């Protein structure tokens, strides 16, 4: 009997240990478990102290996994086998994920901060009525210039870049859609056109810019510009914010005649499991004080109108990153084009790169 009791006690101890281990694994792996939130985000795209604050406030443990491109994020979610509760795609990728039935609709009845968002960042063409997406950050495509070499008055518009005085002085971000888009704006055409003749005209216009192009690169632009190795660059506002923070001679301009408006968004993948945690987090991040703190940490523009009002005057009145209404009205959101239409852009852009 004694041996039997010992055996039962031992078995109970093993069961308890297994249950505890299983609970710990649930907490760390983040795949299941009620008190967990699995966030799939871009690298360094949330203030870590906000994660800590959310965990303390709610008791949910947040697991953060990162991706480096919309396409990589899409592939992983589309392949299945993941249980992300929230992901952060850009506008065109929201449309693509929606079409592929990879998203769950938002339950607006559970959202407490929706009224805090600026209406101009809601109800966009990629997700009418914001059925699936909550805006997270937004930004633009523009011109970075160094005041040691270039005066502000010389680069207020895209067409200024074609000036002969800028021969071999411009760095371009290596992005077909953006560089073709910039050229299309100078021709007074839509950045979403799929007309082959119009795209050919945009490529020819870019070929005229080629003598002014010092290099077509990616992340290296930040290093070149920060170290005063180039006077001009075409890049995104988020990248520009980082450059400006590291070199007081750098400035950023969004041409008032038109440019790209990008919006990153929080969405719920269809395999999400922790509904209560999801809505707790969405409500936490849309609280003005938290959204303002996140915007200060990241350096990107917040779509949260109430949060913007809490930002230091120098930030919220900075026309480089919060342009005037007139400029915003001329900004264009990229539409998610079919692979065949994207190929039209890529082909024309590659022709230009070869020309360069």
CB atoms closer than 10 angstroms to residue 148: 10
Confidence at residue 25, expressed as pLDDT on a 0 to 100 scale: 39
Q: Which domains does the chain have, with CATH numbers?
A: 28-138+263-316 (3.40.190.10), 139-261+323-355 (3.40.190.10)
Confidence at residue 218, expressed as pLDDT on a 0 to 100 scale: 86
Confidence at residue 7, expressed as pLDDT on a 0 to 100 scale: 42
- pLDDT tens across 128-148, in order? 999 999 999 999 999 999 999
- pLDDT tens across 91-105, in order? 999 999 999 999 999
Beta bridge partner(s), residue 289: none
| Pure H helices in the chain | 2-29, 48-58, 70-79, 91-99, 176-186, 196-209, 220-226, 237-246, 275-285, 288-298, 305-310, 313-316, 325-329, 339-355
At residue 267, the 3 state secondary structure works out as strand
Spans of the chain, pLDDT less than 70: 1-33
Confidence at residue 34, expressed as pLDDT on a 0 to 100 scale: 75
Q: At what angle do helices 196-209 and 176-186 cross, to 10 degrees?
A: 90
Angle at 191 between CA 40 and CA 72, to 5 degrees: 20
Confidence at residue 33, expressed as pLDDT on a 0 to 100 scale: 59
- How buried is 263 (Cβ within 10 angstroms: 0-12 exposed, 13-18 middle, 19+ buried)? buried
List CB contacts of 197: < 8 A, sequence separation 6 or more.
Answer: none
Q: Is 44 left (phi over 0), alpha (psi -120 to 50) or beta?
A: left
Confidence at residue 356, expressed as pLDDT on a 0 to 100 scale: 78
CB 301 within 8 A of CB 237: yes
This prediction's pTM:
0.84
Distance CA 344, CA 282 (A): 38
- pLDDT tens across 141-167, in order? 999 999 999 999 999 999 999 999 999
């Amino acid at each position: 009997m004694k041996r039997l009791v010992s055996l039962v006690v031992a078995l109970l101890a093993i069961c308890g240990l297994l249950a505890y281990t299983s609970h710990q694994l649930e907490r760390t792996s983040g795949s299941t478990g009620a008190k967990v939130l699995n966030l799939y985000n871009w690298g360094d795209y949330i203030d870590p102290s906000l994660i800590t604050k959310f965990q303390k406030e709610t008791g949910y443990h947040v697991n953060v996994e990162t991706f480096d491109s919309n396409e990589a994020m899409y592939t992983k979610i589309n392949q299945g086998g993941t249980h992300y509760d929230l992901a952060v795609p850009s506008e065109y990728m929201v449309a693509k994920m929606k079409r592929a039935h990879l998203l769950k609709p938002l339950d607006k009845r559970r959202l407490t901060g929706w009224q805090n968002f600026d209406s101009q960042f809601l109800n966009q063409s990629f997700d009418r009525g914001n059925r699936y997406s909550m805006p997270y950050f937004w930004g633009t495509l523009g011109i970075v210039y160094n005041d040691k070499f270039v005066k502000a008055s010389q680069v207020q518009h895209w067409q200024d870049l074609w000036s002969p005085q800028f021969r071999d002085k411009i760095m371009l971000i290596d992005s077909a859609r953006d560089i073709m888009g910039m050229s299309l704006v100078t021709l007074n055409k839509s950045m979403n056109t799929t007309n082959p003749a119009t795209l050919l005209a945009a490529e020819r216009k870019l070929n005229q810019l080629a003598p002014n192009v010092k290099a077509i690169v990616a992340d290296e632009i930040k290093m070149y510009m920060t170290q005063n190795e180039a006077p001009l660059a075409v890049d995104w506002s988020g990248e520009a914010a980082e450059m400006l923070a590291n070199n007081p001679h750098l400035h950023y301009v969004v041409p008032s005649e038109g440019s790209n408006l990008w919006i990153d968004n929080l969405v719920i993948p269809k395999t999400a499991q922790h509904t209560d945690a999801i809505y707790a987090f969405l409500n936490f991040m849309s609280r003005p004080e938290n959204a303002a703190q996140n915007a200060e940490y990241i350096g990107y523009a917040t779509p949260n109108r109430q949060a913007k009002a809490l930002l230091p005057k120098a930030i919220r009145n900075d026309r480089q990153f919060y342009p005037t209404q007139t400029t915003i009205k001329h900004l264009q959101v990229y539409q998610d084009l079919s692979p065949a239409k994207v190929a039209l852009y890529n082909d024309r852009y590659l022709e230009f790169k070869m020309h360069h």
